[in-house]
């Protein structure tokens, strides 16, 4: 088969998968490594991170760092300030991606983006995870209620001011309910810490 035809078929395979493929997936689809490298070297593919490529003519994804993490660390759940930013509940600008992992999980190693890992156990890790899609890639991220509660739980690491602002914005924008917040606060054992702030906003 001619080189041009092989490249055309490879690009078509990328488009069928919303323009993003891991190298291993591309190989399973029958795309030869030489074809991948030619497409990359000609500028038709760009490297999102090691082992992940996307078509260059697609618009930039809205959350490229989260896309990389979802591809490279699929068991991670986006949490804390990164989740607040995704939900529009903070004025903070994340300089690293905050992820939650179960205890005894090996720390992931990524060249980019920088990660900050928070270890959780049992239901504190598994409850409240939503799945959103970016460029067709499923992103595991805590919902607004669980994220706000986690900010109070980890207030000594991210700052109580971040947690209080998140609670205020979430209530103003009707993204949370007191009942759901208290449910997660009991689960994460911060109900006594959060109650005064909740009562001040009601």
pTM for the full predicted model: 0.76
pLDDT at 1: 63
When the pLDDT of each residue in the chain is averaged and rounded to a whole number, the result is 90
- Helices 144-153 and 160-172, packing angle to 10 deg: 160
pLDDT digits (tens, 9 = 90+) for 70-83: 888 989 999 999 99
Convert the pLDDT of each residue in 175-184 to its tens digit: 999 999 999 9
> What's the pLDDT score for residue 104?
84
- pLDDT-derived band at 49 (thresholds 50, 70, 90) equals low
The pLDDT, as a whole number, for residue 22 is 81
Q: In percent, how much of the chain has pLDDT > 90?
A: 61
Instruction: Report pLDDT digits (tens) over 1-37.
Output: 688 888 899 999 988 887 888 888 899 999 989 999 8
* Distance from C-alpha of 43 to C-alpha of 38, rounded to nearest angstrom: 9
Measured between alpha carbons, how far is residue 145 from residues 66, 149, 175 in Å? 20, 6, 8
Distances (CA, A) of 27 to 31, 51, 147: 5, 11, 37
Question: How far is 188 from 202, CA to CA, in rounded Å?
Answer: 22
**Backbone φ, ψ for residue 57 (5° rounding):** -85, 5
Query: From CA 81, how far away is CA 87, in angstroms rounded?
Result: 10
Residue 115 has pLDDT above 90, yes or no: yes
State whether residue 40 is helix, strand or coil. helix
Q: What is the DSSP string of 64-127?
A: HHHHHHHHH-TT-EE-HHHHHHHHT--S---SSEEEEEETTPPPP--SSS-EEEEEE-HHHHHT
């Amino acid at each position: 088969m001619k080189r041009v035809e092989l490249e055309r078929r490879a690009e078509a395979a990328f488009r069928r998968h919303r323009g993003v493929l891991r190298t291993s997936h591309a190989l399973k689809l029958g795309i030869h490594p030489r074809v991948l490298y030619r497409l990359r070297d000609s500028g038709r593919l760009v490297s999102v991170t090691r082992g992940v490529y996307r078509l260059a003519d697609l618009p930039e994804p809205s959350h490229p760092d989260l896309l990389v993490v979802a591809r490279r660390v699929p068991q991670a759940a986006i949490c804390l300030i990164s989740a607040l930013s995704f939900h529009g509940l903070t004025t903070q600008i994340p300089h690293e991606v905050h992820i939650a992992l179960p205890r005894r999980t090996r720390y992931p190693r990524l060249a980019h983006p920088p990660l900050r890992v928070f270890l959780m156990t049992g239901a504190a890790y598994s409850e409240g995870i939503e799945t959103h899609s970016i460029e067709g890639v499923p992103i595991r991220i805590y919902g607004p209620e669980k994220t706000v509660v986690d900010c109070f739980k980890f207030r000594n690491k991210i700052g109580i001011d971040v947690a209080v602002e998140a609670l205020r914005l979430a209530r103003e924008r009707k993204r949370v309910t007191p009942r759901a917040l208290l449910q997660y606060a009991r689960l994460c054992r911060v109900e006594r810490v959060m109650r005064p702030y909740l009562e001040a906003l009601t």
